[in-house]
Amino acid sequence: MKKIIICLLCAVLLISAASCSGSEPAMKLENVSVSGSIYAYYLACYKQYWLTAFGQTDGPDFWDAESDGIRNADRLTQISETAIKKRIAANYLFDLYQLKLTDEEYKSIDAMITGIKASVDDDIENDEMFKTLGMKTDDLKEILIIDSKVGALQDYLYGENGVRKITDDTKEAYYKDNYYRFKFVYLMGADFVRDENGDIVYNENGNARVDEISDERYEEKLDFAQEILRKVRGGEDIDGYIDEYSEELEKGDYKNGHYLCSVNEYGTLLSGAVMKLSVGETGLLDTKYGIYVIQRLGLDPGAWGNEENEAGNDFYNFEQLVLEKEFDDYLAPYMEKIEVDRAVTDKYKMEDLPYTFSWQYFF
């Protein structure tokens, strides 16, 4: 679950906020603070985010469930508080470097406010979350302003003319620290529907048609997978079995194998199985989706920049992941200095807060 949470927080949403009038600071770093109501707003937003991401409904069955002896509500609150601290640290650095937003950015913010108000009949208090927390339009505007400031800070640090531009060496180091490479033979828990020529039949949506199979047929596939496993462990090349027998439709897009990022993928059965293997080791994974004969491979240098790997999806957000790691590391020393007033934060419990789709406002 910890790794899944890291995955879900891949996109760095660093929004800082000054204290709202009439509400004491919940967190602060020198003259930069987040008010109690803004803190509660973020928790409510993340509540919606977590419920959606985990496919859960709002109730004690989810919030009171424990992982490693910690309630989901407490663990996810801790993770959400880390994101709020990032907002404060980012705001602090924005001010420290004397950065400014442009007039165009302010106009864009005003346009967003107009659009949001239109979605709730021109009064944000028609949104349950804003109404319950006593928030006004100015509070929402402050959040959106700071959202833009974070983008400006990132550009200042890592943009085209950034003072801390990310190098190929930085990317390669991230790749070596976070990626796994593997190949697999995949046998479905079903059979493709084929025409008289033996070609796969597709439906009107472009998806391959499949037929359910009997338990006996599945056992045949499992026996065959175990035979492949035995031969590959005996020294035969897995590539020949992939080419001839693997039922992964996109296998041609992964000529050098698949690349798994522990941040992106952890939590799936396949990813967990890959991570348990040593380089050069081959194993078998039997799931309700099908059977995998998996061989873990050593990393090949510069795979993230290899054009042959662009056909697959394994590096689709690689640049963003590297940026987030660098940004997080840069903010970390400032986050450690943030003061938290528990007399304020303890008034708000994630599981008790209202939530609507207001969380979309700061994504």
Edge-to-edge order in the sheet of strand 339-340 = 32-35, 25-29, 339-340
* Domain at 218, CATH number: 3.10.50.40
Q: Are both 151 and 252 inside the same structural domain? A: no
CB 325 within 8 A of CB 176: no
Angle, helices 72-96 vs 137-158, to 10°: value is 70
Would residue 42 count as lying in a domain? yes
Q: Are both 189 and 326 inside the same structural domain? A: no
pLDDT in tens, 173-184: 999 999 999 999
Whether pLDDT at 115 is above 50: yes
What 8-state DSSP symbol labels residue 316? T
Backbone angles phi, psi at 68, to 5 degrees: 55, 35
Whether pLDDT at 243 is above 70: yes
Distance of CA 304 to the CA centre of its chain: 19
Per-residue exposure over 320-340, b if at least 16 CB sit within 10 Å of its own CB, e if not = ebbbbbbbbebbeebbeebeb
Q: Are both 209 and 233 inside the same structural domain? A: yes
pLDDT of residue 19: 38
Q: Are both 198 and 72 inside the same structural domain? A: no
Q: Are both 188 and 131 inside the same structural domain? A: no
Q: Are both 97 and 193 inside the same structural domain? A: no
Residues ≥6 apart with Cβ < 8 Å to 309: 254, 256, 259, 303, 315
CB 339 within 8 A of CB 111: no
pLDDT of residue 149: 87
Would residue 266 count as lying in a domain? yes
CB 41 within 8 A of CB 354: no
Q: Which helix (DSSP H) or strand (DSSP E) does residue 221 occupy?
A: helix 215-233
Would residue 219 count as lying in a domain? yes
Q: Are both 260 and 184 inside the same structural domain? A: yes
Query: 3-state class of 225 per DSSP?
Result: helix
Whether pLDDT at 227 is above 70: yes
pLDDT of residue 253: 95
Output the furthest CA–CA distance in the chain (Å, rounded): 74
Rounded CA gap, 209 and 223, in Å? 24
DSSP letters along 137-167, please?
A: HHHHHHHHHHHHHHHHHHHHHHSTT-TTPPP
Q: Are both 190 and 245 inside the same structural domain? A: yes
Whether pLDDT at 262 is above 90: no
pLDDT of residue 122: 80
Q: Are both 164 and 194 inside the same structural domain? A: no
Confidence of residue 20 (pLDDT cuts 50, 70, 90): very low
* 280, 295, 316 - which closes a domain: 316
* Residue 219 CB coordination number (10 Å): 11
Would residue 139 count as lying in a domain? yes
Tell me the mean pLDDT in the region 58-67. 94
HSE toward the beta carbon, residue 57, CA cutoff 13 A: 2
pLDDT in tens, 34-53: 889 889 988 998 998 899 88
Q: Are both 312 and 260 inside the same structural domain? A: yes
Tokens 């025409």 belong to residue: 195
Rounded CA gap, 27 and 42, in Å? 13
Would residue 289 count as lying in a domain? yes
Please state the domain count of the chain. Answer: 2
What 8-state DSSP symbol labels residue 324? H
- The domain in which residue 216 lies consists of 178-316
Q: Are both 331 and 234 inside the same structural domain? A: no
pLDDT of residue 264: 66
The dihedral built from the CA positions of residue 226, 232, 238 and 243, taken in this order, carries a sign that is negative
Whether pLDDT at 199 is above 80: yes
- pTM to 2 decimal places: 0.80
pLDDT in tens, 289-341: 899 999 999 999 999 999 999 999 999 999 999 999 999 999 999 999 999 99
Would residue 173 count as lying in a domain? no
Whether pLDDT at 14 is above 60: no
Q: Are both 164 and 182 inside the same structural domain? A: no
Would residue 141 count as lying in a domain? yes
DSSP letters along 279-301, please?
A: TT-EEEEEETTEEEEEEEEPPPT
Tell me the mean pLDDT in the region 54-67. 93
Would residue 16 count as lying in a domain? yes
- 224: buried, middle or exposed (CB in 10 Å: 19+, 13-18, 0-12)? middle
* 316, 332, 348 - which closes a domain: 316
